[in-house]
Structure 1
Amino acid sequence: MARRRKQDPDELTAGEHEAPEEERDYSVRAVERVCLILNLLQESVDGITLNEVAQTTGLPKSSAFRYLWTLENHRYVERDEDGGLFRLGLGFVGMQSRHLEILRERARPSLERLRDEFDETANLGLLDGDHIIYLDIAESRRGVRLAAARGDRDPIHCTALGKAIAAQLPEDRVHDLLANAGFEKKTGNTITSEAAYLDELAKVRRLGYALDDRENEDDGRCVAAPLLGTHLPVAISVSGPSSRFSIADAKKAAKVLIEAASGIATNPVGV
């Protein structure tokens, strides 16, 4: 005897195939809910709670959490363990080229002011995969200077930009980044263990800035501050030869960097 097959709710019935075009509804409820969640995340400045997701989608909290967990697993959502908030994740960074260009335009005047004030190179960096990529550079005018080129990549474990950004990420995300990138020993001062690096990140969170003290270059010193208000993994820095850019200079620059980072995050540029 033939068994009756249970119809998949996503399948169209014969009647639906014959219906006029204007009467058809090809929407998938699960996809609609994902779109609702992503729209809610995009509109939020500080992040959203699980309750907000459940209320917006009409889902039970347990189901809403499963949606968020799946999106987080694919890096489209990231979770703040301390505050219980959800934000757009790093999976969208590659899709945000226009946003990054706006950010670069917004940051450029600040980079030039930092360069002129300290007579050293100022940088804007983004976490790209498990490395830092330089989005923009205001290069020092001195003959001897420390400067990368736009588009260059550096490790996260031995750069001030990398530390400043990593300090704002969930610890499990940092663990994954370090597992992928490793701890190449660039100089005698390079941090080469995860425990020591996590201790360094705790210090960065406490001070508000990160320091690379001859860890990426033998004669290089750099100080960086994260751009907290953008919800992108970005930071700005000032770098110079350690023979000229002292620890005292770096600490002085750190205060100005923190103020500049706050200004970049809150002062939009016209598009």
Structure 2
Amino acid sequence: MGRRRKHDPDDLSSPEQGASEEERDYSVRAVERVCLILNLLQESVDGITLNEVAQTTGLPKSSAFRYLWTLENHRYVERDEEGGLFRLGLGFVGMQSRHLEILRERARPSLQQLRDDFGETANLGLLDGDHVIYIDIVESRRGVRLAASRGDRVPIHCTALGKAIAAQLPEDRVRDLLKETGLERRTGNTITAIDDFFADLAKVRRTGYAIDDRENEEDGRCVAAPLLGTHLPAAISVSGPSSRFTMQEVKKVAKALLDTASGIATNPLQGEPESSPA
């Protein structure tokens, strides 16, 4: 007779045929606990603590952490290392298309204003997996301009949007992203050493904005600021040909971007729903 396997109460796999009623009941309880955690995350604006998860689910803190770790591993939960808070992660991006559309609608007038004020292309980007995806683009009206297309994906290490977002992430998360993508040399100015990249991120944190100085395109220059109040890994930027968009102009645009990013994060659209959409 084969040895009977001891039941693991944190095993989320489907019960085998012939499993006891108790085991089948536990399988349901495990799913209910995951749903409780996700509902708690959805209802929270600023994020939830491990203690809140343990209290809501009735789990010991060690078990609650294992649930959160599993959800984080599948990108359904994102952890703020500094504050110790957990939030909904990018695994739900596809399910939150309305949420992203609200962000795009909220940012659109500001992007248009940036384009009109500086004559260059304005962009909204979001970290999706290990690349940044362009959510919206308001192109410069000039004949010669620097502009991607909505839906284009670009690396984090050589773009202003990518650096602005990466500077807000825990270091180990950034290292994991770079392990997946590498630091491909796109131009002679591309940062290809990980220590140099983290030094650049430290500068981004000090100044509040990121610069791509001909690192992704030979004649491209871009400056970006993160959208800190949205709880999404997102940023806005202004980009143009380096022959016209000088470093002196970049500093002026950076100040406007910081003000604009703050406004986007704190001024929701009229009629915007209070809770996260399904």
The alignment's TM-score, normalised by the length of structure 2, stands at 0.87
Structure 2 gap ranges (5+) = 5-17, 273-278
Shift of 1:245: 0.9
CA offsets 1:179-200 (integer angstroms, 9 cap, x no match):
1111111111000011111111
Matches within 5 A, 1:1-271: 7=20, 9-11=22-24, 28-269=28-269, 270=271
What letter is aligned with 1:52?
A: E
- Unpaired segments of 5 or more residues in structure 1? 13-25
Q: Which has the larger radius of gyration?
A: 1
Q: Provide the rounded CA distance (Å) in 2 between the counterparts of 1:55 and 1:71.
A: 18
Q: What is the match of residue 19 of structure 1?
A: none
Whole-angstrom distance in 2 between the partners of 1:157 and 1:213: 12
Q: In 2, distance between residues paired with 1:209 and 1:65?
A: 34
- Deviation beyond 4 Å, 4+ runs, structure 1: 3-6
Instruction: Give, in angstroms, the shift of residue 61 of structure 1.
Output: 1.4
In 1, Cα distance between equivalents of 2:260 and 2:96 = 23
Structure 1 vs Structure 2 CA RMSD: 2.1
Q: Contact 1:48/1:86 (CA < 8 Å) preserved in 2?
A: yes
The residue identity in structure 2 corresponding to 1:100 is L
Tell me the secondary structure at the aligned position of residue 46 of structure 1.
coil
- Cα deviation for residue 27 of structure 1 reads 8.1
1:121 and 1:146 in contact (8 A); partners too: yes
Contact 1:79 1:170 (8 Å CA) reproduced: no
TM-score for both structures, normalised by structure 1: 0.89
